[in-house]
């Protein structure tokens, strides 16, 4: 009977088969084309297989990108106001266009500082305080000192 660690030659078997086959470097043939995975670009971006949230760095990059996109909309508003004034000569239309761009920095800051949306799997932290009974009110004796 063959025990763990014994080869077949030691245990009386007539056929010796190595447990691992060693090959020299470069002897393993490479595939004709690299595997692309099921979707294109899958090799570049690993699949998310955990329930972990995105990293803080990624959240920061996303917030900066949102802020930049909203603030970048302000420049075309100002240019559009100048073009509208030069084409129509009407300052009311130009002021309306500029008026649209005035709250954009405030909106951009609010949106950029917002946390990522909650997932449906994230538990609700509300503890239902409206169901708790109030302390009883009534006459209490006070101790005068």
Residues in CB range of 24: below 8 A, 6 or more apart = none
The Cα–Cα gap between 42 and 28 comes to 25
The residue among 18 and 76 whose pLDDT is bigger is 76
What pLDDT, on the 0 to 100 scale, is given for residue 134?
60
Which helix (H) or strand (E) is 94 found in, with range?
Answer: helix 91-101
Between residues 111 and 3, the one the model is more confident about: 111
No. of H helices and E strands in the chain?
A: 4, 0
- The answer to whether the predicted template modeling score (pTM) of the entire model surpasses 0.75 is no
Position with higher pLDDT, 66 vs 22: 66
What is the mean predicted confidence (pLDDT) over 8-34? 62
| More confident position, 121 or 6 | 121
């Amino acid at each position: 009977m063959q025990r763990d660690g014994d080869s077949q030659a030691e245990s009386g078997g007539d056929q010796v088969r190595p447990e691992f086959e060693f090959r020299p470097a470069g002897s393993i043939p490479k595939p004709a084309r690299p595997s692309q995975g099921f979707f294109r670009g899958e090799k570049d971006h690993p699949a998310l297989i955990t329930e972990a949230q995105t990293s803080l760095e990624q959240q920061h990059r996303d917030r900066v990108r949102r802020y930049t996109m909203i603030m970048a909309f302000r420049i075309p508003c100002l240019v559009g106001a100048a073009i509208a004034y030069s084409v129509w000569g009407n300052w009311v239309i130009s002021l309306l266009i500029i008026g649209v761009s005035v709250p954009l920095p405030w909106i951009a800051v609010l949106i950029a500082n917002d946390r990522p949306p909650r997932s449906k799997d994230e538990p609700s932290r509300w503890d239902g305080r409206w169901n708790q009974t109030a302390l009883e009110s009534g006459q209490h004796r006070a101790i005068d000192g």
